Chain A
């Protein structure tokens, strides 16, 4: 009996060792092949069905249908709710994703962790349509791993009635969420994004910090201060939500919601509630972000992914994307095709003096854990 138990344990140990080796090596095999595969792609070439992993409600479904019809392949379109959950899926391997849409700081993280395939710009002729401010961004200095998809801001969606009662029609402030006195009238009717970097950044802005400074100087104390503020705010919140924040606002579940510009506009548009609700960027400043198309190392149909990027960077299709999502387009050639309402909306294309107050959230690096822990603690 003892002998067989030892043999069993020995066999088990061998299996464990084997599987660990397999997990450790799994990610590395064939990386070079993918870069080579990408380098060999021709414009308009497809090499199999495309698995497109994107944020929730972030593309006009007609664009997918049009792509499928034009290139004769199927697009398997799946959605995620945060950069981190997308990263976890890509990192775990196993599933095939040919094209993902990471935000600025997440491109930086994925690039540094060798999770992205080098983009072959020769296979994406429409890449020339990308506006100068989006070329060689700080999160991808050589522009090798990403092409911009959409950009926008993070601020507050609020009913005009609430704005009026707060007296904030002209100067909206993060105080409507974070100031106990201002927001007490809306206790239980406020929501925030279920997203650690966004929630902490909003609190940092209210506290007067620069997000970039805090992260670059590794200012853990400031992040803790923001976490404490979130924790104190928690009792007045109805919930944390990164998907339904716009719908909850127009459905009357909440009066004040922290969220992404286009998400609110999409809900205002669907509910025909433009008259009653506004999206505002607080005077203290907010977050500006750029979402990008990247090819993760889980890709198989690398050329199909290049072709989709090219398809979406086309002038008219880029405009179709923006006309549907209500987010600003990094595609300069698309400008003439974007509706007047969107181009002229200062909440979508902020004027320079507002834009000066907006910050990109950098890769949090060592502070990422502190961001997450402070956020979880606040939610406690």
Chain B
């Protein structure tokens, strides 16, 4: 790399320019080196704890499951990937997809007006409201999910209220509805925060200009506010969809092991079915789907959170 700045190839009259160029190039090399050193800990971390495990999972996904259930790192094959097209697996993927989509859409519908409301308050009020959004994070997610089990249970307040009102017994716990409620509750802040950031950053003069040009409130929102906050919508949707799609804890607790989602199904491959190659293939596919979603978002031009 340093050979490109060797001075002896050049004629004397070009010398000053070359020397200057050489200095710049050297400065650039030094800069790169500094950058490399600064980035090294993160690179090592990512390589050891993400790239390497990802490769190992990838290798296992082509391995063989022996008759007794142990994994043999030989007779490499793609059986595990073929099995992904089994109607059972497709059904579970589809269920995970629609529950995650439902969660995302409801989060968006609930979070957008709320984020809008926060962003248009005074600075002091904004900070207080944002703290309220964050407060649930102070207690353990598992405990909060178990609390929903009580709330939705057959002896819980919701069931009692519906009985007292003469609406009969409603059974929510251990259904997909309970799972969706748990996911919406858990991931709503991930939608509010990026939306808030996008709305708060928006140049309100553009909305004023739209109104000056006789756009009504709805048109101004649709043509100005919404496109300008698109990055927040995309970021929030991704932050809600991705973890919902692979969720494990919420469906396990509120779905009562009856509404299998992808996360539980992957765990089952390792803990119960003892099919490591298939569990690995599933994990790889989930990761690829996530990557595609992330890349699509990058392509769409929304780079900032």
Please give the residue numbers on chain A whose beta carbons come within 8 Å of chain B beta carbons, in ascending order: 12, 15-16, 19-20, 23-24, 82, 84-85, 87-88, 91, 109, 112-113, 188, 194, 196, 234, 237-241, 253, 365-366, 368-369, 372-373, 376-377, 379-380
Stretch from B199-207, B270-278, B286-294 that touches the partner: B270-278
Known: A84-B272, A196-B272. A12 touches B51 (CB 8 A): yes
The reply to whether A88 and B56 contact each other, CB–CB distance below 8 Å, is no
Q: How many B residues have CB within 8 A of the partner chain?
A: 32
A194 in contact with B257 given A109-B69, A239-B174, A368-B69 (CB within 8 Å): yes
Residue of B whose beta carbon sits closest to that of A366:
B67
A24-B73, A109-B69, A380-B260 as given contacts; A12 in contact with B274, CB under 8 Å? no
User: In the complex, are the beta carbons of B257 and A379 less than 8 A apart?
Assistant: yes
Q: Distance in Å from the Cβ of A219 to the closest Cβ of chain B?
A: 17
Task: Kindly list chain A residues whose C-beta atoms are within 8 Å of the C-beta of B69.
Answer: 109, 113, 368-369
Is B158 close to A, CB under 8 A?
no
Measured between beta carbons, the chain B residues less than 8 angstroms from A237 are 258
Q: Contacts A82-B272, A368-B274, A372-B273 given: A15-B260 contact, CB under 8 Å?
A: no
Q: Does B88 contact A (CB under 8 A)?
A: yes
Question: Which residues from chain A contact B52 at a C-beta distance below 8 Å?
Answer: 12, 15-16, 19
Distance in angstroms from B62 CB to nearest chain A CB is 12
Residues of B within 8 A of A253 (CB): 153-154
Is B249 interfacial (CB 8 A cutoff)? no
Q: Who on chain B is nearest to A254 by CB?
A: B154
6 A–B pairs (Cβ distance < 8 Å), ordered by A: A16-B59, A82-B272, A85-B271, A88-B270, A241-B256, A379-B258
**Contact check: which of A85, A113, A239 meets B256 at CB < 8 Å?**
A239
Contacts of A113 in B (CB 8 A): 68-70
Tell me how far the C-beta of A144 lies from the nearest C-beta in chain B, rounded to whole angstroms. Answer: 18
- Give Cα distance in the complex from A379 to B265, angstroms: 11
Complex Cα–Cα for A373 and B275 (A)? 11
Find the A residue at minimum CB distance from B55: A16
CB neighbours (8 Å) of A369 from chain B are 65, 69, 273, 275
Q: Once bound together, how far apart are the Cα atoms of A372 and B153, in whole Å?
A: 28
**Inter-chain contacts of B68 with A (CB < 8 A):** 109, 112-113, 365
Chain B residues, Cβ within 8 Å of A238: 174, 256
Bound-state Cα–Cα, A85 to B273, Å: 9
**Cβ A377 vs Cβ B88 within 8 A:** yes
A281 to chain B, nearest CB (A): 25
Contact indicator per residue, chain B 64-77, by CB within 8 Å of chain A (1) or not (0)? 01011110010000
Q: Which residues of B contact A85 (CB under 8 A)?
A: 271-272
The 3 closest A-B pairs by CB, nearest first: A239-B256, A372-B273, A84-B272
Q: Given the complex of chains A and B, what is the CA–CA distance between A15 and B265 in angstroms?
A: 30
Contact of B257 with A188 in the complex, beta carbons under 8 Å: no
Chain A binding surface SS class: helix
Q: Closest CB-CB distance, A220 to chain B, in whole Å?
A: 14
CA distance A16 to B274 in the complex (A): 23
User: What's the nearest-Cβ distance from chain A to residue B86, in Å?
Assistant: 8
What is the chain B residue whose CB lies nearest that of A239?
B256
Task: Contact check, A240 vs B258: say whether CB atoms are below 8 A apart.
Answer: yes
Considering only CB atoms, which chain A residue lies closest to B73 in the complex? A24
Bound-state CA distance A265–B202 (Å) is: 65
- The residue on B at minimum CB distance from A92 is B270
- Find chain B residues with CB under 8 A from A194 CB: 257
Shortest A151–chain B CB gap in Å is 23
The reply to whether A240 and B257 contact each other, CB–CB distance below 8 Å, is yes
Binary A-proximity of B250-276 (CB < 8 A = 1, otherwise 0): 000000111010000100101111110
Looking at the assembled complex, report how far the CB atom of A337 sits from the nearest CB atom of chain B, in whole angstroms.
37
In the bound complex, what is the Cα–Cα distance between A372 and B69 (angstroms)? 12
B257 to chain A: closest residue by CB: A240
Which of chain B's residues has its CB closest to A115's CB? Answer: B70
Q: How far is the CA of A262 from the CA of B197 in the complex (A)?
A: 57
Interfacial chain A residues near B174, Cβ < 8 Å: 238-239
Q: Which B-chain residue is minimally distant from A91 (CB atoms)?
A: B70
15 additional A-B residue pairs with CB within 8 Å, beyond A239-B258, A241-B257: A15-B52, A20-B59, A24-B73, A91-B70, A109-B68, A112-B68, A113-B68, A196-B273, A234-B258, A240-B258, A253-B153, A253-B154, A372-B273, A379-B258, A380-B260
- Contact (Cβ within 8 A) A88 B51: no
B53 to chain A, nearest CB (A): 9
Question: Is the beta-carbon distance between A365 and B67 smaller than 8 angstroms?
Answer: yes
* Closest chain A residue to B83, Cβ basis: A373
- The answer to whether B272 and A380 have CB atoms under 8 Å apart is no
B79 to chain A, nearest CB (A): 11
Please report the C-alpha to C-alpha distance between residue A207 and residue B271 in the assembled complex, in whole angstroms. 28
Complex Cα gap A369–B232 (Å): 44
Flag if B260 contacts A88 (CB, 8 Å). Answer: no
* Residues of A with C-beta under 8 A to B271: 82, 84-85, 88
Nearest CB on B from A15, distance (A): 6
- CB of B256 within 8 A of CB of A376, answer no
Report the minimum CB–CB distance from B258 to chain A (whole Å): 6
A239 and B254 CA atoms in complex are apart in Å by 10
Which residues in window 82-100 of B have CB below 8 A to A? 88, 91-92, 95
Chain A CB within 8 A of B171 CB: yes
